[in-house]
């Protein structure tokens, strides 16, 4: 059945569209965008008062499948994605086993055929994420991987990272880098500083991230190849990336909603849902993350969606790092950037859909005629309180629980099929 979305404000920066329009969907693709479209027999969606945007592309997601499906699995993770307006996501390789073989890549892609979002796979750079033996990048590419990373850990062996960065562009792919010096991090659990001292827990210095960022930038500059920097959280890393871009280094970068909206002060609650890696930082870091988003230093907003069970997160000092984020990411962006007058909604869509799709080289981030109809319908003004128990994934470890946010996804359409309705 054809679908006709009527009277929405269509915001599609890649296509230069920002105004009231109808959208006709036929055979799972966008057939027409314009005013006063009519289509006999089409299912009508009255979207007056809503914005229609290209489905979000979350380029940093941990689905925990295979091997840790008590936390999340491909289908539950994609239900959460759809509820947040995410129609495409990049699955990180720190699964059990790691995504270091064609068999695991194929397993993820096969299971994802039944999911409510499109799953793209990042293969690992080293086997078992151990930095001891490189994977076969060509083999993983043939199996369907579209990017490479050891995320969850940095690639400690710089030679293996260098080889992956040289090979990836030959296959039209990108290395996405977790930047961390593990020797400096030294098993800390929150940002090193005033709050870690007050709580009496071991901290992670900002330099652990900054040294990793500097290494990846130096490699990209020396080799003349691209690199994408994951989950930027410090002001110095923003400054390093800005300088590298000004020098023509082929570097792109992402941050996450918690890094432009929360500070290390949240850790005073001793609630492990606020523990992630990189950790929440200081207000000066938050301010520079926002500056980096506004001036284009930071290209994308991703979630680093990292589910854990309630039991996992019950012990503040011993809990694993990570928080979930796909259902709240757009609303946090609207609340903390758009509603504060810092960023236009159109620019936010670029950061969360257009740019991630470009970086990954996937057919998304656009509402052009002929592309798959992956669309989110959003009420920018609806106010809601995050209730962790009502979220759609298996895990509830959100740092935004109890927060009052603006912006609610009302419908998500994937390949012309409604996969979420609020």
Q: SS3 of 341, please?
A: coil
Q: What is the C-alpha separation between 244 and 251, in angstroms, rounded?
A: 7
End-to-end CA separation in angstroms for the chain: 21
DSSP character at residue 66: T
Pick the catalytic residue from 73, 151, 304, 374: 304
Contact 86, 114 (CB under 8 A): no
Q: Is 296 left (phi over 0), alpha (psi -120 to 50) or beta?
A: left
- Spatial distance between the Cα atoms of 264 and 285, rounded to a whole number of angstroms: 10
SS3 344: coil
| CA-derived radius of gyration, the chain | 20
Give yes or no: 136 in active site: no
Tokens representing 367 are 């509402």
Strand partners, 417: 414
Number of helices (H), then strands (E), belonging to the chain: the values are: 12, 18
Which residue from 230, 243, 110, 250 is spatially nearest to 178, judged by alpha carbons?
230
Look at residues 297, 254, 299, 250 and name the one whose alpha carbon lies nearest to residue 278.
Answer: 254
| Residue 135 contacts residue 121 (beta carbons within 8 Å) | no
- Strand-pairing partners, residue 395, are none
117 secondary structure, DSSP code: S
Closest-CA residue to 188 (of 284, 278, 269, 272): 278
The four Cα atoms 291, 295, 298, 301 give a dihedral, to 10 degrees, of 80
Exposure letters 340-359 (e unless 16+ CB within 10 A, then b): eeebebbbbbbbbbbbbbbb
Phi, psi dihedral angles at 243 (to 5 degrees): -60, -40
Instruction: Say how far apart CA 412 and CA 418 lie, in whole Å.
Output: 6
Read off the DSSP letter of residue 231.
S
8 A C-beta contact, residue 376 and residue 411? yes
Distance CA 135, CA 158 (A): 14
The residues carrying an active-site annotation are 304
């Amino acid at each position: 059945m054809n679908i006709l979305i009527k009277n929405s404000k269509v915001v599609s920066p890649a296509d230069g569209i920002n105004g009231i329009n109808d959208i006709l969907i036929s055979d799972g693709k966008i057939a027409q965008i314009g005013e006063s479209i009519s289509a006999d027999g089409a299912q009508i969606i009255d979207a007056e008062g809503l914005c229609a945007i290209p489905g979000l592309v979350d380029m940093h997601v941990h689905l925990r499948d295979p091997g840790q499906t008590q936390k999340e699995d491909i289908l539950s993770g994609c239900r959460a994605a759809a509820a947040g307006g995410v129609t495409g996501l990049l699955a990180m390789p720190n699964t059990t086993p790691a995504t270091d073989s064609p068999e695991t890549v194929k397993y993820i892609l096969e299971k994802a055929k039944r999911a409510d979002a499109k799953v793209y796979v990042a293969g690992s750079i080293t086997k078992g994420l151990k930095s001891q033996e490189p994977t076969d990048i060509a083999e993983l590419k043939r199996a369907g991987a579209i990017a490479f990373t050891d995320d969850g850990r940095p690639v400690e062996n710089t030679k293996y990272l260098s080889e992956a960065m040289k090979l990836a562009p030959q296959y039209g792919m990108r290395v996405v880098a977790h930047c961390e010096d593990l020797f400096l991090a030294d098993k800390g659990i929150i940002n090193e500083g005033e709050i870690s001292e007050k709580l009496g827990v071991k901290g992670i210095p900002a330099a652990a991230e900054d040294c990793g960022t500097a290494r990846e930038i130096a490699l990209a500059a020396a080799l003349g190849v691209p690199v994408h920097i994951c989950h930027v959280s410090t002001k110095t890393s923003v400054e390093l990336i800005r300088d590298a871009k000004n020098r023509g280094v082929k570097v792109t970068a992402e941050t996450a909603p918690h890094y432009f909206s929360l500070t290390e002060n949240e850790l005073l609650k001793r609630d492990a849902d606020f523990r992630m890696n990189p950790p929440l930082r200081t207000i000066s870091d938050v301010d520079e993350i926002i500056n980096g988003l506004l001036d284009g230093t930071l290209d994308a907003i991703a979630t680093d969606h990292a589910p854990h069970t309630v039991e996992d997160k019950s012990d503040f000092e011993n809990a694993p790092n990570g928080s979930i984020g796909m259902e709240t990411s757009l609303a946090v962006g609207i609340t903390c950037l758009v509603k504060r007058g810092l960023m236009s909604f159109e620019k936010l869509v670029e950061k969360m859909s257009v740019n991630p799709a470009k970086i990954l080289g996937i057919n998304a981030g656009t509402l052009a005629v002929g592309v798959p109809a992956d669309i989110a319908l959003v009420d920018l003004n609806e106010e809601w309180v995050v209730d962790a128990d009502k979220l759609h994934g298996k895990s509830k470890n959100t740092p935004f629980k109890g927060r009052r946010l603006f912006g609610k996804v009302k419908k998500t359409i994937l390949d012309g099929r409604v996969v979420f309705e609020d």
